[in-house]
Chain A
Amino acid sequence: ETGVTQSPTHLIKTRGQQVTLRCSSQSGHNTVSWYQQALGQGPQFIFQYYREEENGRGNFPPRFSGLQFPNYSSELNVNALELDDSALYLCASSHRDRGRTFFGQGTRLTVV
């Protein structure tokens, strides 16, 4: 077990709705990242938070946003859901200076 926990494990939303996914980072880690993994593909980097600020973003639109809290927990928010947003969303935590990144079990989001 990595110590990275995500909730919920599964979620079904309707196109146009908004969704919030939650993550609790591994103890001692100060950096959290979110990834989207479509079926049969590798994870794609969405963004990274360090010291409660976004400090890196992949090729995702602004309707993907996030928060990192002082206790290193994190949220991923997606507005105006589209069918193509259906995927496994992975939270990953790491210590900024040590490189090793650990993933949670993911939240399976289905948009209908």
Chain B
Amino acid sequence: QQQVKQSPQSLIVQKGGIPIINCAYENTAFDYFPWYQQFPGKGPALLIAIRPDVSEKKEGRFTISFNKSAKQFSLHIMDSQPGDSATYFCAASMNSGGGADGLTFGKGTHLIIQP
């Protein structure tokens, strides 16, 4: 049973556009929601994370929007660049990220930024 649903599976955006990746979760005990970026042959790299007490968080060109009532959260990448082309994963965990159940990941979004 997939507890974090991620969409779209793949996404192509022109340089400078704003790709948006969406995730939905079911487990209301989740209270920590990170996003990871993964390049081929590399491990996932932590981009940005949010807790449910805020509705939006920005770090550089990356923004998370969070809707607790809908149990949804999304990643926006401002002024996207070809170097942002990668696979992006949303994740969720309990106990503010320190839970013993680890991170539950979505299936990933393969993002291509065209020059």
Contact = CB atoms under 8 A, between A and B. Distances in A.
A and B bind: yes
Interface residues of B, number: 27
A45 B91 CA distance: 11
Interface string A51-81: 0000110100000000000000000000000
A100 B32 CA distance: 9
Nearest to B6: A42
B97 A105 contact: no
Contact of A41 (B42, B102, B103, B107): B107
Nearest to B110: A40
Contacts of B32: 99
Interface in A10-36: 31, 33, 35
Interface stretch (B43-51, B55-63, B64-72): B43-51
A101 B45 contact: no
Interface of B: 6, 32, 34, 36, 41-46, 49, 89, 91, 93, 96-108
